[in-house]
């Protein structure tokens, strides 16, 4: 089974993309092999290399410093409601019960969004993105704008990254639009990365930010691979025309901070609202399902149903069968609801008990915006930028969601191999 499970898992994950391919005969095994090799090599560098471990531990210290800075600002505005505020007007008997997610966790997205925008304007983040994009452009045969947008998704949001290549979006082929949407949903933004790090660090320890960063980077070649399987490229690549300039996101330091803050506020409100509504619907659905007869002594719930649906995929990722129902539940929750809810569930180690290896695989497998609400966000956002291509965006949106789900699962699969 040690050898059978990885072999069967790989075949099944690739087959789940092939059945939705618009032209199976045009799928090139060469680029599947290159994408898998890239993922394995990068995973070895990020996870096994001692220097990488040291770097990510230092990066985690920096992340905690950013959280302290954010807490300072939140404490000034919201007082003792902020995380770890020392000025509570009452005696705290259990510090673990004082954490308020909206103020102590989610508020971090506003500060990180502004900081990311500033780093982009100063040219620090573009230098890193351009360096990383070299890994994917030639090996995976994608055009410059697509490669830039795909790599930028490691740090920027799913709508911010395409803005970098706004002049080229209207000329992109369906395959390139599919890649753009797929990568947007198979990665997470840097601002969200920091929130998940502070939320899960007690479980995973120092260096957790490195796992999230690695997961987003590893999902880029996987996302391109699955997009190319579902709609194989026709040989036409969108490139910059002579005299055509890249889109400038910000006009100055103040503009970058202002736009970044506004973007962060939008994300804060949207995520907070979605969490309230989604969790309320889950509670309501489970109350209704609870009226049905129990199965194996357990009441029927939405989580149980999703678990059974996604358990085989979890097994294909390398999760032992006895833990696949739990892991499948997390995958289903991420897809039907969002990754925030899935990571909240993952943090509940008593209800969702997994072995250390399985928990690490799921950390990678859940790392992405692949859910139904993201499809709506991308369609409305990109549709406003290139209204003339709205029909093409709608046509590839379903494939993009499925490709993004498989990309994150393949990233988890690669981690299970090493």
Model pLDDT for residues 318-328, shown as the tens digit of each residue: 999 999 999 99
Residue 96: predicted pLDDT: 55
pLDDT at 163 over 60: yes
Q: Is 410 in contact with 222 (CB distance < 8 Å)?
A: yes
Residue 84 pLDDT class (50, 70, 90 cuts): low
Cα–Cα distance between 414 and 418 in angstroms, integer? 7
Residue 86 pLDDT class (50, 70, 90 cuts): low
Cα–Cα distance between 121 and 226 in angstroms, integer? 32
pLDDT at 33 over 90: yes
Model pLDDT for residues 3-31, shown as the tens digit of each residue: 899 999 999 999 999 999 999 999 999 98
Residues 53-63 have a mean pLDDT of 76
**Torsion sign (Cα): 237, 214, 2, 326:** negative
- The mean pLDDT value of the chain amounts to 85
Residue with tokens 């096994």: 48
Q: How many CA atoms lie within 13 A of 286 on its CB side?
A: 13
Cα–Cα distance between 87 and 408 in angstroms, integer? 42
Residues 291-295 have a mean pLDDT of 83
Cα–Cα distance between 251 and 290 in angstroms, integer? 55
Model pLDDT for residues 220-233, shown as the tens digit of each residue: 999 999 999 999 98
**Torsion sign (Cα): 392, 393, 395, 399:** positive
Q: Is 379 exposed, middle or buried (0-12, 13-18, 19+ CB in 10 A)?
A: middle
Residue 94 pLDDT class (50, 70, 90 cuts): low
Lowest-confidence segment of 103-107, 258-262, 284-288 by average pLDDT: 103-107
pLDDT at 165 over 60: yes
355 Cβ contact partners less than 8 Å away, ≥ 6 residues apart: 320, 323
pLDDT at 111 over 90: no
Helices and strands (DSSP H and E) totals, the chain: 18, 0
Cα–Cα distance between 37 and 349 in angstroms, integer? 33
List the chain domain ranges: 1-47+100-238+270-418
Backbone dihedral region for residue 321 (phi beyond 0: left; psi -120 to 50: alpha; all else: beta):
alpha
**Cβ atoms within 10 Å, residue 35:** 24
Model pLDDT for residues 339-361, shown as the tens digit of each residue: 888 888 898 888 888 999 999 99
Query: What is the 8-class DSSP label of residue 387?
Result: G
Cα–Cα distance between 154 and 340 in angstroms, integer? 17
Cα–Cα distance between 314 and 335 in angstroms, integer? 13
pLDDT at 367 over 80: yes
Model pLDDT for residues 187-230, shown as the tens digit of each residue: 988 778 877 887 788 888 777 888 888 999 999 999 999 999 99
pLDDT at 309 over 60: yes
């Amino acid at each position: 089974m040690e050898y059978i499970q990885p072999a069967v898992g790989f075949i099944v994950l690739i087959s789940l993309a092939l059945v939705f391919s618009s032209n199976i005969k045009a799928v090139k095994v060469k680029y599947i092999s290159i994408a898998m090799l890239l993922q394995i090599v990068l995973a070895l560098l990020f996870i096994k290399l001692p220097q990488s471990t040291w770097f990510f531990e230092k990066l985690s210290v920096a992340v905690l410093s950013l959280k302290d800075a954010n807490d300072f600002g939140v404490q000034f505005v919201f007082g003792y409601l902020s995380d770890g505020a020392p000025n509570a007007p009452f005696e705290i008997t259990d510090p673990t019960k004082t954490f308020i997610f909206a103020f102590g966790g989610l508020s971090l997205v506003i500060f990180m969004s502004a900081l990311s925008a500033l780093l982009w304007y100063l040219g620090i983040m573009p230098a890193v993105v351009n360096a990383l994009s070299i890994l994917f452009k030639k090996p995976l045969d994608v055009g410059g704008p697509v490669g830039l947008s795909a790599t930028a998704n490691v740090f920027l949001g799913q709508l911010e990254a395409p803005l970098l290549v706004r002049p080229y979006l209207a000329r992109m082929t369906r395959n390139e639009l599919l890649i753009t949407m797929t990568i947007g949903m198979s990665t997470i933004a840097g601002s969200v990365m920091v929130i998940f790090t502070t939320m899960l660090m007690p479980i995973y320890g120092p260096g957790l930010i490195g796992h999230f960063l690695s997961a987003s980077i590893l999902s880029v070649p996987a996302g391109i691979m699955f997009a190319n399987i579902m709609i194989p490229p026709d040989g036409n690549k969108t490139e910059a025309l002579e005299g055509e300039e890249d889109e400038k996101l910000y006009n100055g330091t103040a503009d970058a901070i202002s736009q970044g803050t506004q973007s962060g506020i939008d994300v804060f409100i949207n995520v907070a609202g979605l969490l309230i509504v989604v969790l309320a619907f889950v509670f309501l659905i489970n109350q209704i399902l609870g009226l049905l007869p129990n199965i194996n002594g357990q009441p029927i719930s939405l989580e149980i149903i999703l678990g059974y649906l996604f358990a085989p995929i979890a097994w294909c990722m390398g999760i032992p069968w006895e833990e696949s129902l739990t892991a499948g539940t997390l995958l289903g929750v991420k897809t039907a609801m969002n990754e925030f809810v899935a990571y909240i569930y993952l943090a509940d180690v008593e209800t969702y008990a997994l072995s250390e290896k399985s928990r690490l695989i799921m950390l990678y497998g859940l790392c992405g915006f692949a859910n139904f609400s993201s499809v709506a966000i991308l369609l409305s956002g990109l549709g406003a930028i290139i209204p003339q291509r709205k029909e093409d965006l709608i046509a590839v949106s379903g494939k993009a969601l499925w490709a993004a789900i498989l990309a994150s699962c393949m990233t988890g699969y690669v981690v299970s191999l090493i």
